Structure 1
Amino acid sequence: MGMAAESQFHVLAVDDSLFDRKYIERLLQKSSCQVTTVDSGSKALEFLGLRQGIDSNDPNALSKSPVTHQVVEVNLIITDYCMPGMTGYDLLKKVKESSAFRDIPVVIMSSENVPARISRCLEEGAEEFFLKPVRLADLNKLKPHMMKTKLKNQKLEEIEKTSKVENGIVAAAVEPEIKDSTKVVIEILPLQQDLLLVEQEEQPSSTNNKRKSVEEGISTDRARPRFDGIATTV
């Protein structure tokens, strides 16, 4: 994998410690990753556009507002476990509950080796659990996880572009037919009016014909006794 391909990976790093944020940022940059750092779980959610459902008692909490969507693609989130207000575990749950970001790999860091904590994070969907200080060898394990999200996003973009092209072709093909059908309707309307006039003119003649047929029926009925009389004389 070349440097140009690796530099496309974007990592969101979350840690309330300035020293740890700078440390993890330098390690990720050595791995040719683009890094965005924030100091709390609530700010991480703000960056992702997930603003709803945050506890208003949290001093770092965001005001509740409609969900917005991020413009920058994120291929991985790495977060500290112990943070005030919202822990790394809480952030993990928020991300995995989101339909838009649940596929983003989440990695938890902690300076404490607590097996129950590690198991709980992995069961909730964390890809890895690293003990601090994180090493460069640890971050190299993350590249396959980031590659999965990169390939998936590329496929979604290709599908979206294909659908837009197909919709454009269909719209271009249908539009002339709609215009032509409108012209046909406009041209037929005068003919329909002419037919109505002809039908109105023919109505008196048709009435006269009905009267003639009625009179002929009456005259025919009156002639029938003659044949009866002939039959009687014979």
Structure 2
Amino acid sequence: MAVVAEAQFHVLAVDDSLMDRKLIERLLKTSSFQGTKPLLAVVPAVTAVDSGSRALEVLGLSEDLTSSAAVSPAHNEIEVNLVITDYCMPGMTGYDLLKKIKGSSSLKDIPVVIMSSENVPSRINRCLEGGAEEFFLKPVQLSDMKRLRPHILKGKSKEQQLQQEEETSNTSISSNKRKARDEELSPERRRPRLSNNSLI
């Protein structure tokens, strides 16, 4: 089956360990995310950062802890489609980052995956109940990346659906304008017609 189109998918990887960031980046780039309707190859671009506060900067969120997370005007330089973050980091944990993202009205729909080297059931449940899509145990493996496939394809199909709806809406508006213009200019509507020597 040939791939017809290629879509860009942006992943934000957050981990204080350089080795883990490089591993995640390599695994994401070697993963094959193939869609079926329409034929689509999702090629992940990866931005790797070393802290939760740096991730908030990339996402355009202010780190003002006294108010709810708000998107800064500089946001939208990078559109992030998925966040994968370590749980244990100095300063801000992965759970704290998750809560900030889910607390933002404009970013709450971005899937967040948390990973940790510690298998603590209460921590895993807390993260999943807090809105995380997945919880991976380190070291992260290629099989873990394959579990991201539904989240990646779901995100891309939502994006494509919105684009398609926008195109359909624009086409419909354009068609309606053309129809109205044609009716206004239609000679049948402007000139009286003669039929059998009488006006119609």
TM-score by length of 2: 0.72
Q: 2:97 aligns with which of 72, 91, 96?
A: 91
Shift of residue 21, structure 1, vs aligned partner: 0.6
Shift of residue 86, structure 1, vs aligned partner: 1.2
Kindly tell me: are residues 88 and 3 of structure 1, through their superposed partners in 2, closer, same or farther at Cα, counting changes over 3 Å?
farther
- State the partner residue of 1:101: 107
1:92 maps to a residue whose letter is: L
Any conservation in 1 of the 2:99–2:130 contact (CA below 8 Å)? yes
Identity among equivalent pairs (%): 62
Any conservation in 1 of the 2:71–2:104 contact (CA below 8 Å)? no
Any conservation in 2 of the 1:14–1:41 contact (CA below 8 Å)? yes
Name the SS of the counterpart of 1:91 in structure 2: helix
Shift of residue 104, structure 1, vs aligned partner: 1.4
1:78, 1:88 → 2: CA distance?
Answer: 9
- 1:124-151 Cα distance to aligned partner (Å, 9 max, x none): 1111111110010111010111111111
Kindly tell me: are residues 2 and 36 of structure 1, through their superposed partners in 2, closer, same or farther at Cα, counting changes over 3 Å?
farther
2:64 maps to a residue whose letter is: G
TM-score by length of 1: 0.62
Any conservation in 2 of the 1:52–1:67 contact (CA below 8 Å)? no
The structure whose residues are more often helix, as a share, is 1
Shift of residue 157, structure 1, vs aligned partner: 2.2
**Equivalent residue runs for 1:1-234 within 5 Å:** 8-31=8-31, 32-51=43-62, 53-54=64-65, 66-164=72-170
Q: How many residues align?
A: 170
2:16 maps to a residue whose letter is: D
Highest relative contact order (Cα 8 Å, sep 6+), 1 or 2? 2
- State the partner residue of 1:230: none
2:110, 2:48 → 1: CA distance?
Answer: 16
1:88, 1:8 → 2: CA distance?
Answer: 25
1:137 maps to a residue whose letter is: S
1:48 maps to a residue whose letter is: L
Any conservation in 1 of the 2:56–2:63 contact (CA below 8 Å)? no
1:65, 1:145 → 2: CA distance?
Answer: 23
Superposed CA RMSD in Å reads 3.0
Name the SS of the counterpart of 1:8 in structure 2: strand
Shift of residue 9, structure 1, vs aligned partner: 2.6
2:12, 2:48 → 1: CA distance?
Answer: 6
2:80, 2:2 → 1: CA distance?
Answer: 20
Shift of residue 2, structure 1, vs aligned partner: 6.5
Kindly tell me: are residues 170 and 94 of structure 1, through their superposed partners in 2, closer, same or farther at Cα, counting changes over 3 Å?
farther
Shift of residue 162, structure 1, vs aligned partner: 3.9
1:17, 1:73 → 2: CA distance?
Answer: 24
1:53 maps to a residue whose letter is: D
